[in-house]
Structure 1
């Protein structure tokens, strides 16, 4: 059987309608073409959608796509090779759409297509999301929780200190398991302000102490940071 190679052209249509309740999805469309630029018409396809950030690791920094939410869809192209779906309305694979921290973050969408419905995604494309649906962004605004306390060696935030001492290995990004605000279970750090002690402790990062996507990024892979103090920390409550 002669195999086919596919390429795809992707674009977005965000629904600007007003809702009494915040919609947990947005419109997405793609045109699928083969290697000779012919439309793939009236064909069933399986779609895998991932939303996430780009993160930098190593020297020189290598940027890697890190998905925070992934879902799949089963759909069919029309006579123009077009399919339409609602991102957020598919079958979840990992993460939760309603907890994506849209506000203040730069998001990308990764689209993978399995044209033969075999589980083999042969088409892959990553595009920057230039406009976050306003209702989703507004719902996720101002949900950060400030945690003041000492971060112990196991990542637990303890009471009794205005600053933080980190005694754990940070590889790419960090999490909090427990804290005095009642937030627990693998929460992302949103922002950190370094505590200037005048000591010789060096905190290596790529361009900033924490990325605007909400992850701690180490300048060196597998680096162990000890006694690094911070004066302010906000965590994602979801």
Structure 2
């Protein structure tokens, strides 16, 4: 019987807040087995709790969800919209303390939850506290400017001045006064003019006509209209799956790319890249023998540092017809901004038996996951 252990390989938090501050936010995660395989199209039981004060703080709110992962093991829930366990989501004082989110999951879809982790909620969710601003009492506002705190009303709004007159404070109150100098000001008499106004050209942005979803962009010499660039914030996760099998023999001394386990990625500035791979292998032999497979993550055709390789030895000590084993490892990289090619390769490790690596079957298919995290 295949024993299932549950872990989350990567968690992605995405919070959506609107003008009227709805009492919920989005949460997304990836469910995997202990060997790193995605839990595909599987019912999952989740228990989400909001803690106040620390990772072991007071439970302010708790709810449960039953969701089904998609073809990549990804699931989505709206926190604040689940089945209530305790507390009140709308009563959470987001601005009163630091808050943490605690995640528990039952990979069988039931309620036997296992702790996955607890992490601090950062900037965006606390914007929920802004919803209370519309109900602030005047007496609760601090540092009110003296001109407003005196309660005498806005005298300028009731001041009725004639043409070419301005409001002038005479030392005790505001009165209407005439502009000196005929009501005009020479450009040469203005101090501290911003440099971009000194060049004498017109306001090109005022005459620039852009289309829908376009913004003004300076191309180095002039302002032009351009489409809004896509966001590079947060995380981006992409899975690749094996599309074929590699058979290692004694002659397989050079690394070859495992079919399907290759990606071309674009890395933004100030980003980290994490690569993880796992899959199965089959040692072929009728007697006592062992197979050795040498795996390596390649970046732009090269192995980059320790942790990028794994040697798997599959020993057939009982003389069985076939032996199955698996590989699973990962590494983070600091790559220069731009396009890079990531792939997983394998070669024979000088065993006494041939080895079949990856394929398209459920128990042997290889997987490579690439996560780009904007710093």
Deviations 1:188-215 (A, max 9, x none): xxxxxxxxxxxxxxxxxxxxxxxxxxxx
Whether the 8 Å CA contact 2:50–2:101 is kept in 1: the answer is yes
SS class of match (2:56): strand
The structure with the greater share of residues assigned to helix is: 2
Q: Which residue of 2 aligns with 1:3?
A: 3
What secondary structure sits across from 1:110 in the alignment? strand
Structure 2 residue ranges without an equivalent (≥5)? 138-375
Are residue 101 (structure 1) and residue 93 (structure 2) matched?
A: yes
Alignment partner of 1:136: what SS?
A: helix
**Cα offset for 1:121?**
0.8
The structure whose Rg is larger is: 2
RCO (CA 8 Å, sep 6+): is it higher in 1 or 2? 1
The alpha-carbon deviation at position 64 of structure 1 amounts to 2.5
1:2 Cα offset (Å): 2.8
- Distance in 2, matches of 1:68 and 1:96, equals 7
3-state SS of 1:133 partner: helix
Maintained 8 Å contact 1:112/1:125:
yes
Between Structure 1 and Structure 2, the one with more strand by share is 2
Check 1:74–1:118 CA distance in 2 against 1; reply closer, same or farther (3 A cut). Answer: closer
Partner of 1:14: 15
SS of corresponding position for 2:27: strand
Deviation per residue, 1:82-141 (Å, 9 max, x gap): 101110000110000000000142110001111112321124210111124354121246
Q: Contact between 2:94 and 2:126, CA under 8 Å: does it hold in 1?
A: no
Q: TM-score, normalised by structure 1?
A: 0.52
| Structure 1 unaligned blocks of 5 or more | 56-62, 145-238
How far apart, in 2, do the equivalents of 1:134 and 1:127 lie?
15
Q: Report the CA distance shift for 1:140/1:93 in structure 2 as closer, same or farther (over 3 A).
A: farther
In structure 2, distance between residues paired with 1:81 and 1:99: 33
The CA distance in 1 between the partners of 2:90 and 2:52, in whole Å, is 16
Q: What TM-score results when the alignment is normalised by the length of structure 2?
A: 0.34
Q: State the distance in 2 between where 1:126 and 1:97 align.
A: 18
RMSD of aligned alpha carbons: 2.4
Report 1:39-188 matches (<5 A).
39-54=38-53, 64-133=56-125, 135-140=127-132
Q: Do the aligned partners of 1:102 and 1:132 also contact (CA within 8 Å) in 2?
A: no
